[in-house]
Every structure is written in C-alpha cells, then in structure tokens.
Amino acid sequence: MTDPYVQAHSTAISVRDLVVNYGERNILNGINLEIPAGQIMVIMGGSGVGKSTLLRCILGLKKPTAGSIHMLGTDITTASTREMYRIRKKMGVAFQGGALFSSMSVAENIQLPLREHTQLDEKTIQIMTRIKLDMVNMLPHEHLMPAELSGGMIKRTALARAIIMDPKLLFFDEPSAGLDPITSADLDALIIMLKTIMNMTIVVVTHELESALKIADHIAILGDGRVLETGTPQQIRLSQTTAVQNMLNRKPRETVVDPEAHLKLLVGNNY
Amino acid sequence: MQKTLEKIGASTISVLEDAGRTFNLLLLVIWHLLQPPYKFYPIIRQIYFIGARSLTLIIISGITIGMVLGLQFYSILERFGSVNLLGSGVALSVIRELGPVMTALMVVGRAGSSMTAELGIMRTSEQVDAMECMAISPDKFLVAPKVIAGMLSVPLLTAVFDFVALLGGYFVGVFMFNVAEGSYMNGMIDAVVWSDVRLGLIKSIFFGVLFSLICCSKGYYMHLGKAGSLGAEGVSFVTTDAVVLSSIAILFSDFLIGSLLQ
C-alpha cells in the first residue's frame, strides 16, 4: 500500500519487487519503495541487511536478479548504457569512503565532471569549484591531495563533487560513518540545506539512528531482505513492529539457544 | 577423479572468461577511439609514465644485452674464423628478436604491474564506481589512454633499446676484441634489411597493445574474479597474475608472429 505522505509528492524513484541474489544467497527479497521528489529519504537497517546492495541497484551499479527500478521515468534495470549515462548526469553520489581519485587534488576531483560534461571556460570552472568547496567548508584545502585529508574532509569533498553539476538526485552511502559527532552534525545540516536550497531529492543510506531521525522527511527500514516499515520519522517512532522498535531502542537481538544444538555447532559430532 | 575434472573445468572456464574480458576491453578501446571528443592529455601523461620513465631501465638493459650478445657471438664466431660477421649477428638478433621482446618484458615489469595495481585499487576503493556514477566511462577515461600509450611507447622504447644494444655490441667487438670497425659496421648495414626492421616494429606494436590490455583487464575486472573479495591481497594477486600472463603472452606471440612473418 502506498504511503499517504508519498502520494502527496511526485515520485523520483520507484523500486518494485526488487530481488537480489548473490549466488545462492538471497540479499533482497521483494523490495518495494517509492522515493518522493524533493524530499530526503533515509534507508535504514542493521548491518548486512542489504542497504548498500539496494543503493548499488538504484545507482545502476548492480543488476538485480528480478524487479524494476524507475528513476526519473526510466526503468534503469533495462536501460542502455547511453540512457544510463543520461540519467547519471542528473545525479550525484557521495560514497562511504569518499572514492576520491587519489591522483587528483581536492579541486581537480571536484572539477572532473565539469570538464567531462560541459564546455565551460576555465574561469567559470574555477568559480563553480570554489562555490561548492565553500558550501562544504573545504575552500582552504582545495590544493590538498586526498591522502592528506581527514575522514570528515574526504566526506565533504566527496559531497562537493557530488553536487558540482547541481544534480536532481543526490545519494549518500553512510555519510556519518566514522565521523565525530560535531562533523556528523555539520554534514546533517549540509544535507538539509541542500534539500532546502537546491530542491534535490536526497537518498541517504545509513544505520545512524540519530542522524536519520534528524534529516529524514521519510524513512524506510530494511530487514530480512524486505522493507519492514516506511513512514515519516514520527510514524517510525510510533511503529509497533518489533524489529523497528528494537532498532529504535537499541535492543540487542533475542536469540533462544538450545545448549545441546549450540555445542554440536561448535565442536561438531565429536563430543 | 571427479574433483580433478571439476578443477580443470573451473580453471578452463576462468581462463576463457579472462580472455573474453580482455577481448571485450580491446573492442571498447577501439569503440572509444572512434568516438569524439578526443583528449590527448591523458594519453601524453601515460606515454610519459610508460615511456619516458622507463627510459633509464631500457638504456641500461639494452647496453647490457648488446654487450652480452657481442661477447657470446664473438666467442662462437671466432671458432669458425668469422668474426667479421659479428656486426650482422648482433644487429639481426637485436632488431628482429631481442629488442621488441626484451623491451616489452621490461615495460611489463615496470609499467604493466603498476597499471594493474592502480586499476585494482581504484576498483576496490569504489573510484571506478564513482566514475560510472558521474557518467564518465571508466574504460574511456582510464583504460583507453593506457592501451594507446602502450601501443605508442613500446615501439619507441624498442628503437632506443635497439640503438643502445647495437652500441653495446660495437663496444665489445671493436674495443674489447679489436674487430675492425669497418667490418663491424658494414656487416651490420649489409645484413639488416627493411623486412627485419618491419618485423621488429610489428612485434613491438603488438606487444605494446597486448601487455597493456592484459594488465588493464586484470585490474579493471578484478571485482569479477576471486581476487575481488580479497581487498589489498587481491590487488597483489591480480598484479602478479598480470605480469606473469603478459610475459607468457609476449613470448608466445613472439613465436607466432615470427612464424607468420618469417
């Protein structure tokens, strides 16, 4: 059933019946998700539930086993390379580890999409680079190489590169992972600002609860290869789903262990 | 027995997959070569890396091999009283055979290994994915310049290798064993014809494309093989693999080209 909140907004990305298997392992099992345009959608879930796999499918970096993903009106699971590149020119991605090109400086990393996709003169490229670097507070560090940057600086540079072409869609993979609380809060504020100022559709994949509740217009919680719950942060807080409540309350997994069977698992049949 | 057969089958499939990916990469490079806009700076940068930075290695190995050849040829020819053939012997061996092969092997060790490692690291650290997401074709941006530079650099380096190897042979023959300078030079000039130079040139161009394609393919498609899940160890694994495979491919194709164009 489509969420009333989602119905109020036009859909930027629509994931339908998505299945992903790695060999015989099933990672995603029938994911259905509508991502509204101009909003921040946070995809949450514990480690290993398939958040990053879902993001890779949405980015077109992984072909799903079954299902479809409609992005800006095109089914990217069947799109040609040319169509895919046309869509990708409208999106920006900030990867978990930054994925900055190690042979290029901060400024060169950010300028790359402009140099490859536009005919802008050098002066304009420099100005645009400085504007984006200023937005992420990286202007004083434009000449540094990625190896000279801290974790937070790498994330901010990756963000500047992701927004250099003023994309319609912006994706973040674990933006707060490994950052101190203040840098993390800075990044959250930046994400909200991008939505407000540039009217971007933003998809954030994270397991940082505090950050998710702060920035999200809409949250989808993954578990067991499917979407357990979707809704606004308020709706998610009030969710009655046990797995969601366990996650919100940081409750450890309750596993019933049969001592006999567990011993057998550890030592085999040789006891 | 069944397990042995399974292992052989799996290895065969893996080799065929590797060959298919390398061929696929060749087609992609050709395709990109036909697609404007053409950007020359990345190619020049790679020529500098593969060519200019290999120059010292090529000069040292060329002189050494030329001197060794001079030494060995002299001791053989002396037995038959034909030391006046020293110049032609050294020149033909270097220009037809040793120049292209040794240059390519040296470049594989120096530049090929770093090509694989660079692309492998870019793959594991999501840099290739980032490029895809920026709608920049990684095979056009990363691989094509390397293959084109390999194709252009190896013949140029071979020419340098040939020249210094001939100088090395000349030094040993004329200065160490007192072979008449005129006899050495004339023997060399008379023996070498255009078809010998052409053979050396064809080989070096082919080796340049071959090694750069194999090395790029190993790093670029690292994620599709077993090494993809091994991180840094995987990069070292594919790098070793690329150097070994490129060397074998160069030696084997040397025989094939030699047989076909004899």
If interface means Cβ-Cβ distance under 8 Å, which residues of chain B face chain A? 121-122, 125-127, 129-130, 132-137, 141
Tell me whether residue B11 is in a domain.
no
What is the tens place of the pLDDT at every residue in B136-174? 999 999 999 999 999 999 999 999 999 999 999 999 999
Residue whose C-alpha is closest to residue A230's, from A214, A215, A217: A217
Q: What average pLDDT score do residues B168-194 get?
A: 92
Q: Give percent of chain A above pLDDT 70.
A: 95
* Interface touch B126/A89, C-beta < 8 Å: no
Tokens of A100: 């900055």
Residue B221 lies in a domain: yes
Q: How far, in Å, CA of B238 to CA of A73, rounded?
A: 40
Contact at CB, A95 and B130, closer than 8 angstroms: yes
Inter-chain CB proximity A88 and B137 less than 8 Å: no
Residues A54-113: tens digit of each pLDDT: 999 999 999 999 999 999 889 999 999 889 999 999 999 999 999 999 999 999 999 999
Average pLDDT of B217-227?
A: 88
pLDDT on residue B152: 96
Parallel/antiparallel/unpaired status of strands A66-71 and A11-22? antiparallel
Q: Is the pLDDT of residue A4 over 60?
A: no
Q: Is residue B25 part of a domain?
A: no
Q: Which of A1-5, A9-13, A223-227 has the lowest mean pLDDT?
A: A1-5
Residue A6 has pLDDT above 70, yes or no: no
Q: What percent of chain B has pLDDT over 70?
A: 100
Q: Between B129, B136, B141, which is nearest A99 by CB?
A: B129
Q: Evaluate if residue B111 carries a pLDDT over 60.
A: yes
Contact residues of A toward B, CB < 8 A: 56, 59-61, 85-86, 88-89, 91-93, 95-97, 99-102, 112-113, 116-117, 161
For residue B128, the distance in angstroms to the closest alpha carbon of chain A comes to 8
Judged against a pLDDT cut of 90, whether residue B36 lies above it is answered with no
CB contact burial A168-178 (16+ within 10 A = b; e otherwise): bbbbbbbbbee
pLDDT at A24: 85
pLDDT of the residue at A154:
93
Residues from chain A contacting residue B129 (CB–CB below 8 Å): 56, 59, 61, 95, 99
Distance CA B136, CA B150 (A): 22
Instruction: Tell which wins on pLDDT, A270 or B179.
Output: B179
Judged by CB atoms closer than 8 Å, whether chains meet at B133 and A85 is answered as: no
Q: Is there a domain that residue B31 lies in?
A: no
Burial class (CB in 10 A: 0-12, 13-18, 19+), A46: middle
pLDDT at A181: 85
In chain A, the domains with their CATH numbers are 4-239 (3.40.50.300)
Contact: B127, A59; criterion CB under 8 Å? no
Answer yes or no: do A60 and B141 touch at CB < 8 A.
Answer: no
The residue in chain B having the minimum alpha-carbon distance to the alpha carbon of residue A159 is B130
Q: Which residue of B has its CA nearest to A113?
A: B134
| Residues in A touching B141 (Cβ below 8 Å) | 116
Give the count of Cβ contacts less than 8 A between chain A and B.
Answer: 50
Mean pLDDT value of segment B12-21: 90
CB < 8 Å to A112, chain B: 134, 136
* Confidence at B228, pLDDT banded by 50, 70, 90: low
User: Does residue A1 surpass a pLDDT of 50?
Assistant: no
Q: Decide if pLDDT at A3 tops 70.
A: no
Instruction: Please give, rounded to a whole number of angstroms, the shortest distance from the CA of B8 to a CA of chain A.
Output: 21
In chain B, whose CA is at the least distance from the CA of A164?
Answer: B134
Nearest-by-CA chain B residue for A89: B135
How many domains in chain B? 1
Q: Which of B127, B129, B133 sits opposite A101 (nearest CB)?
A: B127
The C-alpha atoms of residue A115 and residue B37 are separated, in whole angstroms, by 12
Is B147 domain-assigned? yes
Domain residue limits at B64: 40-260
CB B171 within 8 A of CB B67: yes
Residue B19 lies in a domain: no
Is the pLDDT at A2 greater than 60? The verdict is no
What is the ipTM for the molecules in this complex? 0.85
Q: Indicate which of B27, B134, B141 best probes the interface with A, i.e. most A CBs within 10 Å of its own CB.
A: B134
For residue A170, what is the nearest residue in chain B, using CA coordinates?
B133
Q: Best of A95, A154, A166, A172 to disrupt the B interface by mutation (most B CBs within 10 Å)?
A: A95
- Alpha carbon distance A17, A2 (integer Å): 14
CA-CA distance, A107 to A10, in Å (whole number)? 35
pLDDT given for residue A224 in this prediction: 85
- Chain-wide mean pLDDT for chain B? 92
Nearest CA in chain B to A94: B130
A124-143 residue pLDDT tens: 999 999 999 998 889 999 99
Q: Which residue of A has its CA nearest to B130?
A: A99
Q: What is the pLDDT of residue A143?
A: 95
Banded model confidence at residue A244, pLDDT cuts 50, 70, 90: confident
Average pLDDT over residues A44-60: 90
Distance CA B45, CA A194 (A): 37
CB contact (8 A) between residue A85 and residue B135: yes
Of A59-68, A240-249, B252-261, the one with minimum mean pLDDT is A240-249
What is the pLDDT of chain A when averaged over all its residues? 89
- How do residues A172-227 score in pLDDT, each as one tens digit? 998 888 788 888 888 899 899 989 888 899 999 988 888 899 999 999 999 888 99
In a domain, B23, yes or no: no
Note whether A88 contacts B135, CB cutoff 8 Å.
yes
What per-residue confidence (pLDDT) applies to A179?
80
Taking only the tens place, the pLDDT of each residue in B53-103 is: 999 999 999 999 999 999 999 999 999 988 889 999 999 999 999 999 999
Instruction: Place B225 in a pLDDT band, splitting at 50, 70 and 90.
Output: confident
Q: Which residues of B touch A61 (CB under 8 A)?
A: 129, 132-133
DSSP per residue, chain B: -HHHHHHHHHHHHHHHHHHHHHHHHHHHHHHHHTSSPP--HHHHHHHHHHTGGGHHHHHHHHHHHHHHHHHHHHHHHHHTT-GGGHHHHHHHIIIIIIHHHHHHHHHIIIIIHHHHHHHHHHHHTTHHHHHHHTT--HIIIIIHHHHHHHHHHHHHHHHHHHHHHHHHHHIIIIIIS---HHHHHHHHHHH--HHHHHHHHHHHHHHHHHHHHHHHHHHHTGGGSGGGGSTHHHHHHHHHHHHHHHHHHHHHHHHHHHHHT-
pLDDT level of residue A8 (50, 70, 90 thresholds): low
What does the pLDDT average to over A19-32?
91
Is residue B142 situated within a structural domain?
yes
Residue bearing the bigger pLDDT, B59 or A49: B59
